[in-house]
Amino acid sequence: MSRRTAQNGHTKTDGGVQAACGPPGKVALKKKVTLLRGISIIIGTIIGAGIFISPKGILKNSGSVGMSLVVWVACGVLSLFGALSYAELGTCIKKSGGHYTYIMEAFGPQVAFVQLWADIIAIRPAGVAVISLAFARYILEPIFMPCGVPEIAIKVTTAIGITTVMYINSMSVSWTARLQIFLTFSKLLAIAIIIVPGLYQLFKGETKNFQNAFQVDSVQVTGLPLAFYSGMYAYAGWFYLNFVTEEVENPERNVPLAICISMVIVTVCYTLTNVAYYTVMSAADLLASDAVAVTFAEKLMGNFSMAVPLFVAMSCFGSMNGCLFAISRMFFVASREGQLPEVLSMIHVRRHTPIAAVIVLYPITLLNLFLGDIYSLLNFMSFLRWLFIGVAVLGLIYLRYTRPDMPRPFKVPIFIPAVFSFTSFFMVFLSLYSDPVNTGIGFAILLTGIPAYYILIVFNKRPKWFQKFSDSVNRSLQIILEVVPAEN
C-alpha cells in the first residue's frame, strides 16, 4: 500500500479533493449530485428487495399486526435519528467517505483502518454479491416460470449485473445518477401499485385483518428486539449520501434536506405498503408467504403478478448501483489518506470518475459469488456495519466536546445521536446473544485489521525491490486505466 503525506500535493487537505472549483479542464470529481440525485441515492439504496419479498420477520417477532406497524414506524424514526446525526457530520466534515471519514476525524487512523479492512475484505463484496443474486433470481423468474431457475443461470446473470453496474459507474457520474433517478421512480411506482389498490380495499371496508390488531396476549415482548433488528436492516442505506459529500452541490443545504425528505418518503411508503398487505392477507397468510408482494398481487391483480418479479429485480439493481457509487468514494478517500494503494485516489482523465476505486471490489465480489458461501459471510459480518455506524455517531458526540468551535451549519439536539448510538450498540449486542458463533467469527476477522494496520501502514520500511515493483504496478495501472492524481 502507498503511504503518502500532505507533502505529495494531493492528500490530506482540509477539504479533501475540491470538486469542480477550478478551471473547466480540471481533472477532479465534479459536483454533479443535485438535491434530486441525492434523494434518489438514498431512497434507491434503502428500498431493495425486502419490502417486496418478506416483511414477515417483523410480524413474526412482534406478535401482532398492530405491533408490526408500530415497529415499522418506530424503526423509521430511529433511522431518521441516525440520518440526522449523519446530516450534521456531513455538513461539518465536508469530505466524502461516510463512516470511514467520520471515524478517522474523531478517533484517528487506526480505528478508521480497522473499519476499512472489515469493509473491503468481506462486508462490501458479500453485500454487493447478495443483492446482485436477488436481482438475478427475480429477473430470471418470469422466464423460467413455472419451473425453478437453475443456479448456474442465476450466477452468470449475477456476474453480468455486477459487471454492468461497475461499467456504468466507471463511465460517467451523470449516467450513474440519471439511472439511479429512473430506478428510484420505478421503485416508488412499484410501491404505489401495491399501496393504491390496498388503500382502496381498506376504504371499501376490508378491515377484518386489523381487528384486535393490538391483541395483548399475542405480543411477544422477548421478540420485539429481533423485530426492531429486522426493521432497522430494512431502512439501512440512509447513510450513503455521506459517502459522496464532495460531489454534492451546496452540501450544507442539500445533504440535510435530501436525508430528511428521503426518510419521510421511505417511512411512509414502508408503513402504507404493510397496511396494504394486511387488507388482502391475514397475519397467517403473510407468515406463510416467501414473497409477500407476489402473493398480494396474485390475490388482487391476477396475471399482473407476473410483473412483480421484474419490479423487484429493478429495485435490487437500483440498490446495487447506489451502493457501488457510494462505496467507491470511501476507497477513493482511504487511498487519499494513504491507507489504500495510490491508484485508487486517481481520476480518469476524460470521464472524471474514480475508475480504479469503482472496480477494486470486482475480483473479490466475483470470487465470493462463485466460490464462497456468501450468505454465511454476510450473516457474521453484517452486524459490524451497525458497530461502525454506532462508533461514527458516537464520534459526533465526542467531537461536540473535543472540538466545540468546529463550524456546524446543521446541528441536532444531543439526545438524537445519543439515542441512535445506543440503538446501534444494542443491535450489536443482540447479535452476540442471538448468534454468538457467527458474531465471534466476525469479530475475529475484524481483529485481523489490527496487525494489518501495523504491517501495511505503520511498519512501512519495505525492501527496495518491493518498492520498485509497487511503483511499476502503480504506473502500469495508471496507463491502462488512463487515470491521473486528482487536482486540488
In a domain, 259, yes or no: yes
Does 1 reside within a domain?
no
Q: What is the mean pLDDT of residues 318-323?
A: 90
User: Who has greater pLDDT, 209 or 406?
Assistant: 406
What pLDDT is attached to residue 334? 92
The pLDDT value recorded for residue 460 is 67
Q: How far is Cα 184 from Cα 181, in angstroms, rounded to an integer?
A: 5
Provide the domain limits for residue 370.
6-485
pLDDT at residue 5 in the model: 39
Domain at 37, CATH number:
1.20.1740.10
- Overall domain count for the chain: 1
H, E, C per residue of 85-122: HHHHHHHHCCCCCCHHHHHHHHHCHHHHHHHHHHHHHH
Q: How far apart are CA 339 and CA 83, in angstroms?
A: 27
Q: How far apart are CA 242 and CA 393, in angstroms?
A: 13
Q: Are 318 and 47 in contact (CB under 8 A)?
A: yes
The least confident of 155-159, 264-268, 328-332, 375-379 is: 375-379
Whether the pLDDT of residue 221 is over 60: the answer is yes
Per-residue model confidence (pLDDT) at position 417: 95
- Angle among Cα 244, 247, 250 to the nearest 5 degrees reads 110
In a domain, 206, yes or no: yes
Confidence at 22, pLDDT banded by 50, 70, 90 = very low
In a domain, 396, yes or no: yes
Query: For residue 27, how far is the Cα from the chain centroid?
Result: 27
Question: Is residue 128 in a domain?
Answer: yes
Q: Domain for residue 226, yes or no?
A: yes
Residue 312 covered by a domain: yes
Range with the lowest mean pLDDT among 126-130, 178-182, 212-216? 212-216
Q: Is residue 224 part of a domain?
A: yes
The whole-angstrom separation of Cα 346 and Cα 8 is 13
